[in-house]
Amino acid sequence: MVTSRALVMDVSQPGAAAMALDQDWHALSEALGNLGVHLAATLGLGASLGGFLQWLAVIAAIYLLVLDRTNWRTNLLTALLVPYLALQLPEPFFGFFRGGIGAWIAFIAVVIRLFFAQSFPNLIHGDLELPVAFILLIVTAPKTIVHVRGTIISDVVSLLIGAYLLFQHTSHAGGFRRAFGESRGIPHTVGILLLFVAPFWALFKHIF
């Protein structure tokens, strides 16, 4: 057994401190590498491009939902982003929200909606309406619907949602060119286009 005193004595020897520091750096690098691998696996990234594109699409959908609650709000049917997120959310997080945590969030949301709706009308019918609907959709979805995730059907549905939002956005903007030309339309246009990346890539992998 090596005591702290012995360790200090060893480190105090010529060159021992540098060797110990080098070993510590190697151990730290290995630990950080393992942490990165485990974190990537938890987030559903792994080493695949599909995992990265899936997260990019999810972030784009959340970005559009946030824009809808700001002064950049448009007439987009952003409620369609709720099933889109349910279909594209990486499996670890989908399982997390579908488990006990999601059930508790849904339970608390229903209780607040039933008994405190008049106390917080703007919060319940505004900022939290779609996030709560997202949790309820995940928690209450039948297994038949859940098993659709990751299939060609989910990719096609996601593409249809993106296509409809793009059509709606360009129609309100007066054309695709104006959707990119107006400063208020560019953030929505970019966000909507990013919705296509993950389902397109997944559909490509399914077919080829």
- How does pLDDT run across 122-132, given as a tens digit for each residue? 666 667 788 88
Residues 30 and 83 reside in one and the same domain: no
C-alpha distance across the termini of the chain, in Å = 59
Residues 39 and 108 reside in one and the same domain: no
Residues 62 and 34 reside in one and the same domain: no
Report the pLDDT value the prediction gives residue 18, as an integer from 0 to 100: 58
Q: Which range marks the domain in which residue 148 is found?
A: 47-207
Three-state SS for the chain is CCCHHHHHHHHHCCCHHHHHHHHHHHHHHHHHHHHHHHHHHHHCCCCCHHHHHHHHHHHHHHHHHHHCCCCCCCCCCHHHHHHHHHHHCCHHHHHHHHCHHHHHHHHHHHHHHHHCCCCCHHHHHHHCHHHHHHHHHHHHCCHHHHCCCCCHHHHHHHHHHHHHHHHHHHHHHCCHHHHHHCCCCHHHHHHHHHCCHHHHHHHHHHHC
Residue 102's closest CA among 149, 139, 132?
139
Q: pLDDT for 149-170, tens place per residue?
A: 989 999 999 999 999 999 998 8
Torsion angle in degrees (nearest 10) through CA of 153, 156, 162, 163: -140
Residues 134 and 68 reside in one and the same domain: yes
Residues 128 and 102 reside in one and the same domain: yes
Report the pLDDT value the prediction gives residue 4, as an integer from 0 to 100: 43
Report the pLDDT value the prediction gives residue 207, as an integer from 0 to 100: 84
Joined tokens for residue 94: 């989908």
- The domain tally of the chain equals 2
Residue 147's closest CA among 98, 196, 194, 195?
98
Residue type, 190: V
Residues 37 and 105 reside in one and the same domain: no
Give the chain's residues under pLDDT 50.
1-9, 11, 38, 42-47
Single pTM value for the model = 0.73
Residues 36 and 67 reside in one and the same domain: no
Residues 107 and 14 reside in one and the same domain: no
Residues 37 and 63 reside in one and the same domain: no
Residue 172's closest CA among 102, 74, 26, 46?
74
Report d(CA 172, CA 192) in Å as an integer: 14
Residues 34 and 62 reside in one and the same domain: no
Report the pLDDT value the prediction gives residue 129, as an integer from 0 to 100: 83
Residues 30 and 100 reside in one and the same domain: no
Residues 115 and 156 reside in one and the same domain: yes
What is the sign of the dihedral through the CA atoms of 163, 166, 172 and 173?
A: negative
Report the pLDDT value the prediction gives residue 120, as an integer from 0 to 100: 67
